[in-house]
Structure 1
Amino acid sequence: MTAATFPLEITQTKRSGLQEVDFNNLGFGRIMSDHMFVADYDNGQWQNSRIVPYGDLSLSPATAALHYGQAIFEGMKAYRTQEGDTLLFRALDNWNRLNKSAERMCMPTIPEEIFMGGLTELIRLDSDWIPSAEGCALYIRPFMFATDPFIGVKPSDTFSFIIFTGPVAAYFAKPPRVKIETHFIRSAEGGVGGAKCAGNYAGSLYPAKLAQQEGYDQLIWTDAREHAYIEESGAMNVMFVMDGKLVTPFVSDTTLDGITRKTIVAIAHHWGIPVEERKISVDEIIKAIKEGQLESAFGSGTAAVVSHIEAIGFKGVDYELPAVKKDSFAQKVKDYLGDIYTGKAEDIFGWTLKI
């Protein structure tokens, strides 16, 4: 898709911030690129698509999203190849998942030509912001929120869809230590756990803060009914390698259908590694650790990519995990993904899109 498939007005910034960026000290999520794509939904249709300089928004204090949480988002990345090309990874999957979240949250879906056309033109315009250092990328944040200036519990009639970007380094500076949560919940059956909506993350902040005070980096959420089965982590899906198999919780309406997760599952199948997508009990994982059957545990996600878990805390006991070996599945799939992202390995799956 290109801008030619739908009306798109482009207003370039008068002063780029690119020269002020220290690309050797990026961190994650604090540096934004020059421009953003914006589209408005009103009178039953998307309109006024435009790319403008990145900047603050002007909103009514009564804006519906601020009061009732009708907001969704996605996370994506663009990478620089050794030849200087730009690659997007599984962008249509993000578009599909955003629309799935939109339907659950009573929001309008976004046509492919608006999502992909706005995205690709924005990436082209700010392509100089894509870092080339290993482990770095241009993070992409598409999001939609309700804009009705109305105080009342009902779906909004108007919405804004925005995409902005920013260069980032690795999400975790070191392998995370995680705590299995057995009191607070992320979602319950029939809830919005399968939607990537803002409220899911707001509700996780307090238990995550408590865990961080205990020395952990992330939580592993368990089911709302019994706190007996593993679901996902705070910013990533969770995967385990044990007895020569890749084992991960199945996707349900209480977990996010992670794009990196499904990518890793597909790679495992391609490599001939047995995969089990099923309910995984906390007791099973603790037993596997104690008996030395757990080869590795790692999180997967757009931000985290593949993040090896260093230790798992459960009921006051920290279980240190084995050091990750270079020939382990977790390390090999991390390296392979990195090579696909940056064009070093042939994309036999058709996941990447050259901009």
Structure 2
Amino acid sequence: MEDATILDFEFEAHTNPVGEADRAALLANPGFGKIFTDHMVVIRYSADRGWHDARVQPRGPISIDPACAVLHYAQEIFEGLKAYRLPDGGAALFRPEANAARFRESAERMAMAPLPEELFLSSIRELVSVDRDWIPEGEGASLYLRPFMFASETFLGVKPASEYLYMVIASPAGAYFKGGAPSVTLWVSDHYTRAAPGGTGAAKCGGNYASSLIAQAEATRQGCDQVVFLDAVENRYVEELGGMNIFFVFDDGSIATPPLGGTILPGITRDSLLTLARDAGIAVREERYTIDQWRADAESGKLREAFACGTAAVVTPIGAVRGNGFEFQIGNGGQGLLTEKLRTQLVSIQRGQAPDPHGWLKRLF
């Protein structure tokens, strides 16, 4: 069996890549998740061979059997990270080793073959090196990277698969929310939950997002940008949004965020913001916070700001919250001073424009 941590990647160049002029036009306004680069990574796993056949090849459709295990039993996980253009024209990743570790943890929770973390990192470096011209420049722009893995074995039966396909695709990205969104409005779901104790809430698997879509559709019907979920046990405590973690900023200058514990995704942006806040001497609490407390604190002025965070949207101010029978505004309804400060500091580090005391930025070229 090969040592999966040191696999050599075979490279097959695209025979008809997007031309320079067409690529420039696409990069001028890429949106989010709409366009894709020329190549992709594919690595295979089987129980008898381990991880093998690492390739960078032209991006294109994949062929799977109708009895492919993922179609029936949903063994699937993914990650999201970005390559940023640096001031000197180079490029870097932000904390990719944290994504590699979380990918491994998600695989273990879903009874899938864990991908060695160094192989995860190598796959990202290989793809960005080949498609480096697809990294857009400009404020808020980046190359969004989507590593994912699914059970590819052909069988019907409820058991962990013995074959997996790991892939990485890349998508030039602009702002996650349309119009740049000075702030977003949230809808509090009072009858759908995202995750329960003992479930898959801490794993980055597609099922978590699939189950949130009906609640997100409800939020959209109510004129809101995102749904926010309460806990599954008491239906009182704020947990996270459909795809982002959440923070609260109080009048004493402190910040708080719901604690991890198996039902909340351990966000890398979340962890980075906690670190930056502590570095700045800001009092930080990871504690449970009820929807009733949130509403009362917003109405009294004790709560000054709130924001959501994640790889795709980075840091997004929360301006208002709605639910069945209530609505309240947070602060001035836009971006608060501390939210802006933390966002600016984080983005400046990600783009190589500020000191990086924690060594988070990993240069690619």
Which bracket does the TM-score occupy, shorter chain normalised?
A: over 0.9
Computed over aligned residues only, the root mean square deviation of the Cα atoms, in angstroms, reads: 1.6
Structure 1 position 345, deviation (Å): 0.4
Which residue does 1:198 correspond to in 2? 206
Conserved? CA contact 2:104–2:117, under 8 Å: no
- Which residue in the other structure is 1:342 paired with? 351
Instruction: Report how many residues are paired.
Output: 353
- Write the deviation string for residues 20-46 of structure 1: whole angstroms up to 9, x where unpaired: 242232111011111111100012500
Contact 2:318/2:333, CA 8 A, preserved across alignment: no
1:249 corresponds to: 258
**C-alpha distance in 2, partners of 1:323/1:167?**
33
User: Which range moved further: 143-152 or 10-19?
Assistant: 10-19
With 235-244 and 4-13 compared, the bigger mean Cα shift is at 4-13
- Quick check: 1:325–1:331 contact (8 Å CA) kept in 2? no
Q: Which amino acid aligns with 1:36?
A: M
Partner residue of 1:228 out of 199, 217, 236: 236
Deviation at 1:317, TM superposition (A): 2.1
Indicate whether 1:328 and 2:337 are aligned. yes
Aligned to 1:282: 291
Structure-to-structure mapping, 1:184-195, within 5 angstroms: 184-195=192-203
Q: One-letter code of the match for 2:153?
A: D
Q: Could you tell me which residue of structure 2 aligns to residue 17 of structure 1?
A: 18
**After the TM superposition, which residues 8-87 of structure 1 pair with which residues of structure 2 at under 5 Å, given as runs?**
8-17=9-18, 19-21=21-23, 22-42=26-46, 43-87=48-92
1:276 partner letter = R
Quick one: structure 1 residues 286 and 324, their matched pair in 2 at CA, closer, same or farther if it must change by over 3 Å? closer
- Mapped to 2, the partners of 1:83 and 1:15 lie a distance apart of 30
Write the distance in 2 (CA, Å) between the matches of 1:342 and 1:199.
32
Aligned with 1:23: secondary structure? helix
- Offset, 1:4: 11
Secondary structure of residue in 1 paired with 2:156 = coil
Once the two structures are TM-superposed, the CA of residue 239 in structure 1 deviates from its matched residue by: 0.4
Task: Please state how far the C-alpha of 1:321 moved relative to its aligned partner.
Answer: 2.1
Residue 340 (structure 1) shift? 0.7
Aligned equivalent of 2:8? 7
- TM-score normalized by the length of structure 2: 0.94
CA contact (8 A) 1:6 1:113 kept: no
Residues 96 and 4 from structure 1, CA distance in 2 versus in 1: closer, same or farther, beyond 3 angstroms?
Answer: closer
Preserved CA contact (<8 Å) 1:64 1:150: yes
Does 1:150 pair with 2:151? Answer: no
Q: Which residue of 2 aligns with 1:309?
A: 318
Mapped to 2, the partners of 1:336 and 1:20 lie a distance apart of 34
- 204-213 or 47-56, which moves further after superposition? 204-213
Change over 3 Å in CA distance of 1:246–1:4 after alignment to 2: closer
Measured in 2, the distance between the counterparts of 1:217 and 1:54 equals 32
How many Å apart are 1:259 and its aligned residue?
0.3
- In the alignment, structure 2 segments of 5+ residues that lack a partner are none
Say if 1:9 and 1:49, in contact at 8 Å, map to a contact too. yes
Match of 1:180 among 181, 185, 188: 188
Q: Which moved more, 1:260-269 or 1:336-345?
A: 336-345
Amino acid at match of 2:111: C
2:145 matches 1:137: no
Cα distance in 2 for residues equivalent to 1:120 and 1:332: 31
SS at match of 1:349: coil
The runs of 5 or more residues in structure 1 that have no matched partner are none
Letter paired with 2:242: G
Cα 1:269–1:144, aligned 2, differ >3 Å: closer, same or farther?
same
- One-letter amino acid of the structure 2 residue matched with residue 39 of structure 1: I
Counterpart Cα distance in 2 of 1:117 and 1:220: 35
Contact in 1 for aligned 2:256/2:287 (Cα 8 Å): yes
Q: Distance in 2 between matches of 1:114 and 1:290?
A: 50
Within 2, Cα distance between the matches of 1:283 and 1:311? 15
Mean alpha-carbon deviation: is it higher for 257-266 or for 240-249?
A: 240-249
- In 2, the alpha carbon distance for the partners of 1:58 and 1:326 equals 46
Residues in 1 aligned to 2:292 and 2:118: alpha-carbon distance in whole angstroms: 47
TM-score by length of 1: 0.96
The worse-fitting range, judged by mean Cα deviation, of 324-333 and 45-54 is 324-333
Q: Secondary structure at the match of 2:27?
A: coil
Q: Aligned partners of 1:209 and 1:325: how far apart in 2?
A: 24
Once the two structures are aligned, what percentage of the paired residues are identical? Answer: 40
